[in-house]
Amino acid sequence: MHYPDLGTECQIARGPRVRAVGWLAAGLDFGCGEIDGKVVEVLTHLREEGWVHIAMPGIHECELCHQAREARNILVPSRDVLYVAPAMVIHYIAEHAYLPPSEFCAAVLGCPAPTTDAYYEELRRFIDVYSVGHPVTAADFDRSTRAHREWREQIAANRRADAERKRFTW
């Protein structure tokens, strides 16, 4: 499951415009250091709210400590490349002092917020990446991201309704 940082291949995507980040494995060196807390904040938001072209069937356990499990992935669109990270990257940063490449951190900070038009427009430039394995048309992409937006907006509306109900509870 190990893929080198900034390589063009990882478990869920490959191609010249893919940049793998955070596919760490036991026994292999990785960059360590302090990270801007804002990067982690945005990554966490992307993990919860972001769109991903493929749902991973299996749960992956942290090979370094065996204390964390995660099945999700995170896409970070940037100008020319799409960064693809396992959601475990957040655990690696928090618990194993992993410091992702600086260009990835910059892309995270520059990523438009999920469910905005700008966010889906950025992702739309990588349809060729989502097409690896099976062809994805622009119409497929638009259908998938529209469903994603409706799903997240419904969840946000439910949360607001819950909060509202709690406000009226004595």
| 3-state SS, one letter per residue, for the chain | CCECCCCCECCCCECCCEEECCECCCCCCCCECCCCHHHHHHHHHHHHHCCCCCCCCCCEECCCCCCCEECCEEEEECCCCEEEEECCHHHHHHHHCECCCHHHHHHHHHCCCCCCHHHHHHHHCCHHHHCCCCCCCHHHHHHHHHHHHHHHHHHHHHHHHHHHHHHCCC
How many other β-carbons are positioned within 10 Å of the β-carbon of residue 69? 11
Question: Shortest gap between Cβ of 61 and Zn ion (angstroms)?
Answer: 9
Question: Shortest gap between Cβ of 44 and Zn ion (angstroms)?
Answer: 16
Question: Shortest gap between Cβ of 169 and Zn ion (angstroms)?
Answer: 39
Strand partners, 69: 61
Name the residue nearer to Zn ion (CB basis): 62 or 81: 62
Name the residue nearer to Zn ion (CB basis): 64 or 107: 64
Name the residue nearer to Zn ion (CB basis): 46 or 64: 64
Question: Shortest gap between Cβ of 3 and Zn ion (angstroms)?
Answer: 17
Question: Shortest gap between Cβ of 96 and Zn ion (angstroms)?
Answer: 6
d(CA 113, CA 124): 14
Name the residue nearer to Zn ion (CB basis): 81 or 89: 89
The footprint of Zn ion (CB under 5 A) covers: 62, 64-65, 95
Name the residue nearer to Zn ion (CB basis): 13 or 87: 87
